[in-house]
Every structure is written in C-alpha cells, then in structure tokens.
Amino acid sequence: MAHIPPSDIGSTNYERVMGHAPHVLQSWSMLEDTFFNRSTLPKPLLEQVRRTLAQSHGCEYCQAKGGPPDISQAEYKTSLAVGLAQVFASDHKGIDASMLDTMLEHYSREELVELIAFMAFMWAGGTFGKVFGIQP
C-alpha cells in the first residue's frame, strides 16, 4: 500500500496517489500521452527504455509493468537507447559529449532530445512512485 492513502481521482494506483494534486496529474498525463502516442521514437524502443529505468529507480509499480527489459530481439537503435538508459540510471553525469556524438550517429537531434527528455520523465515518475511506495 502507498505511504499515503489514494485519492478518488485517477484510475490506477499511481494516478490515485498523484490525484491528490489533480492539476499536476492532468499535466503529467498529458506529457505521458505525448511521449507514448506522439513520439518520433518507436513504442517498443520507449518501452525497453522505460523498463530499463524501472529496474534502477526501484518503483515497484513501474517494475511490475512489463518486467525487466528484453532486448534479445531488439534493433540496434533500441540496444543503443537501452545502453544509454543504463548509464542515465547509474550516473547521468557520466553522459558526455562523446557518448552523445555516438548516439547522433544513429539518432537525429530531435530523436535524441526526445529520448533524453523521456528518460528524465520516466526517472522522475519512478522516483515519485518509489518515494510514495506505490504498489502494482
């Protein structure tokens, strides 16, 4: 059970905790929709990045959605993104210009900006879930 009781707003455990601040939940949901439904990046790539980050930030709710990453059949760009997510999770300050240059050999600037923004958003969401102890 979450560290605070759920609100009456939202349809998932995560949303019901964030529902205590409905103005935040509304904007949060809009940004989430942007990433998952209007992205320049393929949904399978985003999902593997999300799963990678979930294993590191410790949010049980996030970890339960899909389990650990599975890149066994992934395209090269997805493997690169997962690798970058692993570095992001372990030490985002370790992402330097040479790493970004390598990414830009395979991603457009728009895609790379979106990928890093997505990682930051997923990391923030997982941190929120971990702090409040949100359960699946």
Q: What is the pTM of this model?
A: 0.94
Is residue 61's pLDDT more than 90? Answer: yes
- Please report the DSSP string for the chain in residue order: --SS---SS-SSHHHHHHTTSHHHHHHHHHHHHHHHHS-SS-HHHHHHHHHHHHHHH--HHHHHTT-S---TT--HHHHHHHHHHHHHHHHGGG--HHHHHHHHTTS-HHHHHHHHHHHHHHHHHHHHHHHHT---
pLDDT bin (cut points 50, 70, 90) of residue 19 is: very high
**pLDDT, mean of residues 68-82:** 89
Domain boundaries, the chain: 41-129
- pLDDT number for residue 70: 87
In this predicted structure, what is the pLDDT of residue 126? 97
